[in-house]
Chain A
Amino acid sequence: MSILLDSSTRVIVQGITGREGGFHTEQMQSLGTNVVGGTSPGKGGTKHLGVPVFNTVADAVRATGANATGIFVPAPFAADAIMEAAAAGITLIVCITEGIPIQDMIRVKDFLRGYPQARLVGANCPGLITPGQAKIGIIPQRITRPGAVGLVSRSGTLTYEVASALSAAGMGQSTIVGIGGDPVLGLTFRDVVELFEKDPATTHLVLIGEIGGSDEEHAADLLAKGSRLKAVAFISGRTAPEGKRMGHAGAIISGNRGTARSKEEAFRKAGVQVAETTDDIVGMLS
């Protein structure tokens, strides 16, 4: 078992004929991901990497029954690509693209309210992987192995770092979800923790957070209500310099939340162990 994604998930890639899209589609295929097609406007009717290419997501869904997508289109077109996927009935939308304007993402979030069955991961994220079964995105499968640790993270390379350490120690992963570091994003720590909680194959949980925002605090609130998962959290950026602030608007709404200290405190209160460095995570989990 796993969350969100397994070998039966029918995946398309938006931007499959692009350099990044093509490269990572091949990686996804080599793991065994069920890639059923891709989109590239104007190239409908052709084939690429052994799968059919469509002009639009709606065409792809009609022809292939796809239910998940990985988005690799450039930032100016990415918000539209997410909304197109949701409108076409895709239920798992993974947006890898970085640099999407925040106002575009705010409009996307509002649009997605009309499609409650659609789950968005990202944008600006490494995507997700269920080791041994399937992946959407760019997490290298080489560093993962099947197992029972659920891993959710805001940072790309730190995710790899921790996955790699877990795998080396023989602790495989049920699913790894990189939710992305943008201020306005799809699934949150809390959403993903809820999913892991319901997944019988997941017995352990690792959260890798970062300074800023209060998503980590919200996940801690949830865990404080009681959890069956053995959990470790790590927050990066505890010594990062404070951003040079301008204006009061940010402070009015966020108060004291968002610091590494506030996040670590919240996890400790919830009974979650807090790791000082990523090297400590494996030891604390076993």
Chain B
Amino acid sequence: MKLLEYQAKEVLASLGIAIPPGVVARNPDEAASAFARLGPVAVKAQVPVGGRGKAGGIKLARSEDEARRAAEQIIGMDIKGFKVPLVYCETALEIEREIYLGFTVDRDARANILMLSAKGGMDIEQVAEESPQSIARLYPNPWRGPLDFELAQLVYDAQLAGLLRPLVALIKKLHRAIPELDALTAEINPLAVTKNGDVIAGDAKLEIDDNAMWRHRDLEEKYGGVLEGDPYEVEAKKRNLTYVSLDGDIGIIGNGAGLCMGTLDLVQRAGGRPANFCDIGGGAKAEVVENALAVILMNPRVKGVLINVFGGITRGDEVAKGVVTARNNLNMKLPLVVRMSGTREEEGREILKQNGIEPGVSGWEAAKKIVELSSPLVGKPGSTGRDGAR
């Protein structure tokens, strides 16, 4: 779960980290009253993705009117596929220097890594490329966390000796997000140093491990659901399916992430463009296939569907019957190609053929088939792929 900036800052504040004064505004009036309370503010789009400044999602407001206008422009804007639900109005800081501070999971080392650099701000990735030695790193012990002397070494290595005490104290607070909140990334960039030497979180990124949400129901209740997100993804989540929206016109269902990704590759290679894919996980129970097909067909751009199921223990004839039932229940009229393997796959293919569904022998054959069958329909507007009311 990726927290929005204001949510991440609330969490940081609860760990004792200093943040600038700020308030959330859901409409222009609220932004205007934020100005009345705080004075000049930065009006910031709240989206869980970087690069919002460059996308025009951050505006400085020096008057109530400017705050109102900024909110009007930013709320509802689309930034990298996210519709901005609200803005965060925050007192503009007088920054003397910007530091980079971040924890994340280093996959190669199978460990958490802590990074600190005196050269913080927007260009930190460039710094990492050009002078990697200017980023000090520490792998804290995952059972006891970082020790004082380790943090002191880190701060000295980053050439930030003058800020030793405040930085060590701050890093210890930020580290709590790892064991206590299952944070995968906890980043403050910039970490602002003000004229009187205070260190304040200028921005904050916090990502909580989805696998650990059962330990953090409070965070989910408080912060989940603010973002509208993709309506199809929301619907899929309700049905316990893994679903990803893409921008083409062929729907894909597969069992297993690797097979789904492999199928995307095949469809693209055959000249098609996937509209979405749905991973139905191990096995291929009839009701799961039906659920997946229903979600895939919600998207009106879908002009054909490819189902790629590898049945290890699952029986091919049962998968075929499930697919036929699902198609009939959903009254689906679009081209459908099913590629499956498993025990009794021949019988399964026979059942599909009898019901007018194209069986594919290999993934590659099936991909070519669905691209061929759906191409006459591509570009035609309208149909949801299903007859009658939903």
Contact = CB atoms under 8 A, between A and B. Distances in A.
A247 B105 contact: no
B259 interface: yes
Contacts of B185: 246-247, 249-250
Contacts of B111: 106, 109-110
B16 interface: no
A246 B203 CA distance: 12
B110 A246 contact: no
A183 B106 CA distance: 9
Contact of A157 (B2, B258, B269): B258
A236 B341 CA distance: 19
A237 B263 CA distance: 9
Interface string A196-219: 000000000000101111110010
A254 B107 contact: yes
Contacts of B331: none
A236 to B, nearest CB: 4
Interface residues of B, number: 67
Nearest to B129: A255
Given A253-B106, A253-B113, A245 B259 contact: no
Nearest to A186: B110
A86 interface: no
A102 B124 contact: no
Contacts of A19: none
Chief secondary structure at chain B's binding surface: mixed
A236 B267 CA distance: 13
A185 B151 CA distance: 27
Given A106-B110, A251-B128, A252-B125, A277 B256 contact: no
Interface residues of A, number: 64
B220 interface: no
Contact of A210 (B113, B143, B261, B310): B261
Interface string B145-189: 000000000000000000000000000000000110010110101
A140 B283 CA distance: 12
A40 interface: no
Contact of A245 (B50, B100, B261): B50
Contact of A241 (B113, B178, B244): B244
Contacts of B244: 241
A21 interface: no
A41 interface: no
Contacts of A236: 258, 261-262, 265
A101 interface: yes
B362 A279 contact: yes
A208 to B, nearest CB: 7
A150 to B, nearest CB: 18
A243 to B, nearest CB: 10
Nearest to A163: B312
Among B135, B184, B265, B343, max chain A CB count under 10 A is at: B265
A244 B48 contact: yes
A143 interface: yes
Nearest to A20: B282
Contacts of B259: 155, 157-158, 161
Q: Which of A99, A164, A245, A249 has the most chain B CB atoms inside 10 A of its CB? A: A249
B104 interface: yes
Nearest to A213: B107
Given A157-B254, A183-B107, A253-B113, A248 B50 contact: yes
Interface stretch (B60-68, B205-213, B299-307): B205-213
Most buried by A among B107, B112, B212, B244: B107
A27 B184 CA distance: 37
B379 interface: no
A75 interface: yes
- 5 smallest CB-CB distances across A and B, nearest first, come from A155-B258, A157-B256, A140-B312, A249-B104, A101-B212
Given A138-B282, A158-B262, 15 more contacts: A75-B211, A102-B209, A103-B179, A142-B313, A157-B256, A157-B310, A185-B110, A210-B257, A244-B82, A247-B189, A248-B128, A249-B187, A252-B102, A278-B363, A279-B362
13 contacts: A103-B142, A107-B142, A110-B142, A110-B143, A157-B254, A161-B262, A161-B363, A214-B108, A215-B108, A241-B244, A247-B104, A249-B187, A253-B106
